[in-house]
Amino acid sequence: MFTLKHIVAIIILTALMAIAGCGQDENEISKLNSSIEELTGGAFKVPLNDDYPLLYAFVRKPPVEVDNGPYFITLQYSFKGGNVGDGYQEDVIGAVEISQDITILYGPYDATTSIMIEYSPVFKDAGVSGADETGSWIINGQEVDYAYTDRQGREIIGVYLNLDEAGINATYLLSDEFTEEDAKEFTVYLVNELY
SS (H, E, C) 63-89: CCCCCCCCCEEEEEECCCCCCCCCCEC
Does this model's pTM top 0.95? My answer is no
- Give the pLDDT confidence score for residue 84 in this predicted structure: 67
Cα–Cα distance between 102 and 93 in angstroms, integer?
10
Determine the Cα angle at 54 with ends 58 and 94, to 5°: 35
The DSSP secondary-structure symbol of 56 reads E
Contact yes or no for 56/76 (Cβ under 8 A): yes
- Give the pLDDT confidence score for residue 7 in this predicted structure: 31
- Give the pLDDT confidence score for residue 98 in this predicted structure: 74
- Give the pLDDT confidence score for residue 128 in this predicted structure: 66
- Give the pLDDT confidence score for residue 5 in this predicted structure: 36
Each domain of the chain, given as residue ranges in start order, spans 4-194
Neighbours of 18 (CB within 10 A): 9
Cα–Cα distance between 125 and 167 in angstroms, integer?
7
- Give the pLDDT confidence score for residue 112 in this predicted structure: 87
| pLDDT averaged over 10-residue windows placed end to end, the chain, 195 residues | 34 33 68 90 89 91 62 90 68 73 85 91 73 86 89 90 87 94 94 88
- Give the pLDDT confidence score for residue 174 in this predicted structure: 95
**Cα–Cα distance list, 120 to 158, 163, 167, 176, 181 (Å):** 15, 10, 6, 30, 26
